[in-house]
Amino acid sequence: MKSRLNNPVLAKEVKLRFRSSKSFTGVLFYLLAMCIFVFGFIYTTTSLAGTAYFKPSESVILFTFLTFIQLGLVLFITPGLTAGTISGERERQTLPMLLTTSQSSFQIVTGKLLSSVLFLLLLIIAGLPVYSMVFLFGGISPVLFVKSLFFLFVTLLAIGSLGVLFSTLIRRTTVSMIVTYGSMLFFTAVIPFLFLIIIQVKQFGTMGMTPSKTYVGHFLASINPEIFFASLLAPELGMSVQEMTQVTFPLWIGYLLFYGVITIGSIWIATKRLRVNMKKHK
């Protein structure tokens, strides 16, 4: 059991990552970006209101913005960290030796993925003191805070798995990175655009009557990180999505299922494709 949990690739990757000053610089800039935003927001709000205190209703807005900033950073950083994990080993000519060891393909793939995920988790955890400043002013439920962190983790795991998959399938890191960023942009920019088109078409066709159910629209809304996180932080937004699509299925289940399938599917395919299938011998 102990040997199953022991992952040499993960241990090596963590060691290499934290031996490089780039990782610490990354954490520094991440925290700086968050601090600038939080203190800038508090300063601007208090000076505009002409008061020396910060209202609980404003802390909700701050929390929402902070969550979206973290989501944005996770979506932006994850492809960069994962899309070169396997192809990078190939380019550095270290992959053949790694593949001739007794480690299973699953161990190698998950080791690579988890090392990137752990770094992202470190970013999120390092940002927690800044993030939790909103509790000083009240108005935020700890459950909502935990929920947002959990779904942030689900998102980074899914995008990270896609990065590792493309890194396994595509030989060159540059191409793998472009494809991973492209997928991320598809989920964050193309899907909401498609959702809006579908809703517009449905509403246009009903001529003011109650629109019919649109499962595709509901599906698109539940797999888009922005719409989902907005509905998580402001439940009334989730209700309006349900009104528009006429589907009452909870968005979070759709989100969890979709990104869960993406994660499992990507890891499975990457594991299958990492090594040459010698057994396919004709």
- The reply on whether position 171 binds other proteins by CB under 8 A is no
- The reply on whether position 279 binds other proteins by CB under 8 A is yes
Measured CA to CA, the distance from residue 229 to residue 174 in angstroms comes to 30
Measured CA to CA, the distance from residue 15 to residue 4 in angstroms comes to 20
Q: Please identify, among the stretches 59-67, 177-185, 211-219, 274-282, the one whose residues bind other proteins according to the rule CB under 8 A.
A: 274-282
State the Cα angle at 182 between 178 and 184, rounded to 5°. 120
- The reply on whether position 57 binds other proteins by CB under 8 A is no
Q: Which is nearer to other proteins, 50 or 92 (CB)?
A: 92
State the Cα angle at 241 between 235 and 247, rounded to 5°. 110
- The reply on whether position 210 binds other proteins by CB under 8 A is no
Q: Which is nearer to other proteins, 48 or 92 (CB)?
A: 92
- The reply on whether position 143 binds other proteins by CB under 8 A is no
Measured CA to CA, the distance from residue 257 to residue 251 in angstroms comes to 10
- The reply on whether position 275 binds other proteins by CB under 8 A is yes
| Residues between 2 and 41 with contacts to other proteins, criterion CB under 8 A | 3, 6, 8-9, 11-12, 15-16, 19-20
| Residues between 58 and 97 with contacts to other proteins, criterion CB under 8 A | 92-94, 96-97
| Residues between 244 and 273 with contacts to other proteins, criterion CB under 8 A | none
Q: Residue 55's closest CA among 45, 65, 47?
A: 45
Residue 137, token pair as written in the block: 């002013």
Measured CA to CA, the distance from residue 46 to residue 181 in angstroms comes to 38
Measured CA to CA, the distance from residue 119 to residue 115 in angstroms comes to 6
Least distance (Å) from other proteins to the CB of residue 30? 22
Q: Does an H or E element contain 2, and which?
A: helix 2-5
Contact 7, 110 (CB under 8 A): yes
Contact string 95-124 vs other proteins (x = CB under 8 A): -xxxxxxxx---------------------
Least distance (Å) from other proteins to the CB of residue 180? 23
Contact 224, 187 (CB under 8 A): yes
Q: Which is nearer to other proteins, 8 or 192 (CB)?
A: 8
Query: Site residues (CB under 8 A) for other proteins?
Result: 3, 6, 8-9, 11-12, 15-16, 19-20, 92-94, 96-103, 275-282
